[in-house]
Amino acid sequence: MSRRVSKKSASLTHTIEQSIVFVRGEKVMLDFVLAAMYGVPTKVLVQTVRRHADRFPIDFMYQLSPQEVARLRSQIVTSKGRGGRRRRPYAFTEQGVAMLSSVLRSDQAVLVNVEIMRAFVRLRRLLITHADLARKLEELEQKYDAQFGVVFDAIRGLMAPTAVPQKRRIGFKPDDD
């Protein structure tokens, strides 16, 4: 029985880790993802948060700007107008997710919240490890002479986040003659 719970927990943790996105330079989870995990409609989650607005200051939760929604559109699959969601999603920081457990009072909310907190901690540890690796690389580069510069540049290139290529527009483009 406990083995079954741990598999379910591991699956939930993986789903949570995949659902954490970076917006405004911080790790957040979007309202519709949280609502699905908590087993409530997004509308209910947002209404509950609005009823307890004093518990959710701007550093706990904020609504995405139209530009942020446009950048995340391919990842979050939102509607462009007809059908689907008509309002911009809310982003919850780690503190905002923790506060959700105090306003959503179901057993599922408590279990999901525990796993979300674990995912945020794992992500923080990963980022710290990456920063430590960069610092150690810097120390090694200063210690050894320029002949290893190419090696250090290659390692830095592997550590750098990959840029997402912008989509090309499809269709006829007239010449600008």
CATH of the domain at 113: 3.10.260
* Per-residue pLDDT tens digits for 63-115: 999 888 888 776 555 555 555 677 899 999 888 888 887 787 777 777 777 77
pLDDT of residue 5: 47
> What is the count of structural domains for the chain?
1
List the domain range (segments joined by +) for residue 26: 2-121
User: For the sheet containing 26-30, what is the strand order?
Assistant: 21-23, 26-30, 90-92, 61-63
pTM higher than 0.85, yes or no? no
Mean of all residue pLDDT scores within the chain: 75
Residue 40 lies in a domain: yes
CB 111 within 8 A of CB 38: no
Q: Does 14 or 118 have the greater pLDDT score? A: 118
